[in-house]
Homo-oligomer: A and B are copies of this chain.
C-alpha cells in the first residue's frame, strides 16, 4: 500500500484522469457521461478503471441512483498535494524576483545606454 500523497500524485499523472477531474469540476456526472469523450480512444472498462484509480485516491466518490453511478469531485487530496508543494513556492518566487531584478537592470541599461558592471546577474 502506498502513502496517500503518492497515491494522489500518481492518480494525477495521467491526462485522461485529469480530464475526468476537470469534467467533474463542472458538476456531477455518471460513468457513461464521463466516458463519452473518450470512447473514441478507449473502451468503457478502461474508463471504469481510471475512475477506480481516482476513487481509491479519494479524488472522487461514486453514488448510486438506479443504474447510474453519479460521480462527484472530492478536492481534499488535491489540496493536500498543493500544501506539500507549497514548501517549494519560496524557490520559484525567489527566481521570479531575480527575473524581476534582471528586467530592471535591462531597463536601466536601456535608459542609461551603459552598464555599471560587466556581469549579468549581479543586482541585489
- A residues whose Cβ falls under 8 Å from a Cβ of B: 3, 5-10, 12-15, 18, 21-22, 25, 73, 75-76, 78-79, 81-82, 84-89, 91-92, 95
Contacts and interface: CB of A to CB of B under 8 A. Distances in A.
Contacts of A25: 87-88, 91
A33 to B, nearest CB: 19
A73 B91 contact: yes
A55 to B, nearest CB: 17
The main secondary structure of chain A at its interface with chain B is helix
A28 B7 CA distance: 28
Contacts of A5: 15, 18
Given A85-B82, A89-B82, A92-B79, A6 B14 contact: yes
